[in-house]
Amino acid sequence: MQTLAVDHPLVAHKLTTLRDVRTDSPTFRRLADELVTLLAYEATRDVRVAEATVQTPLVPAEGVQLASPKPLVVPILRAGLGMLDGMTRLLPTAEVGFLGMIRDEGTLQAQTYATRLPDDLSGRQCYVLDPMLATGGTLAAAIRLLFERGADDVTALCLLAAPEGLKYLEQAFTDISAPIKVVTAAIDSHLNEQGFIMPGLGDAGDRLYGVV
């Protein structure tokens, strides 16, 4: 498994504002959207392309286009929805699936409550959107499901990651030889007793959409 913490001044600037408890939900959503686009630039560095020829106003030109099958973007509901526009802005022709998962706050285990994905993901590159990689249980369950359906390359985009979650992912996929990559704005210090990332930015879903 590869892990990339994107080292860029704009990433650090936007993340600092996201952490600030004074940042309201509309501003939080806008900055999260912008931050995801920056992360997506790095996350798609290995996206598969095929050679293509186009006609310019002057002459034919050689270039590339996204290869088939198209990449699949999978936000984990509900907080992952706040990352979708920022990702599809960079990959407008990608297809989108949805995965509803929730963490049991008692056991910290992920439970799936909704799935809207193709049954066959053979040969697909998948990009999972999950703002907070905390214990790693939710993200690991999502990645496992994608591999079970045939995906052969999975990249996760996270606003923040905890060392415990990254370690959990590494241990969870020792039986998988397919590429797994985590792209994040920062790797924070640790998890607290409740399983929240420290210093973190709070509950990403609540910060995006309010407490429900």
Active-site residue set:
103, 107, 203, 206
Cβ atoms of residues 207 and 29 within 8 Å = no
Residues of the binding site: 78, 103, 130-138, 197, 202-204
Report how far residue 120's alpha carbon sits from residue 198's, in angstroms, rounded to the nearest whole number.
38
As annotated, the binding site for uracil includes: 197, 202-204
For the chain, give the secondary structure using H, E and C: CEEEECCCHHHHHHHHHHHCCCCCHHHHHHHHHHHHHHHHHHHCCCCCEEEEEEECCCCEEEEEEECCCCCEEEEEECHHHHHHHHHHCCCCCCEECEEEEEECCCCCCEEEEEEECCCCCCCCEEEEECCEECCCHHHHHHHHHHHHCCCCEEEEEECEECHHHHHHHHHHCCCCCCCEEEEECCECCEECCCCCEECCCCCHHHHHHCCC
Query: What is the spatial distance between Cα 198 and Cα 123, in angstroms, rounded to a whole number?
Result: 37
Residue 10 contacts by C-beta under 8 Å, 6 or more apart in sequence? 38
Residues at the binding site for 5-phospho-alpha-D-ribose 1-diphosphate are 78, 103, 130-138, 203
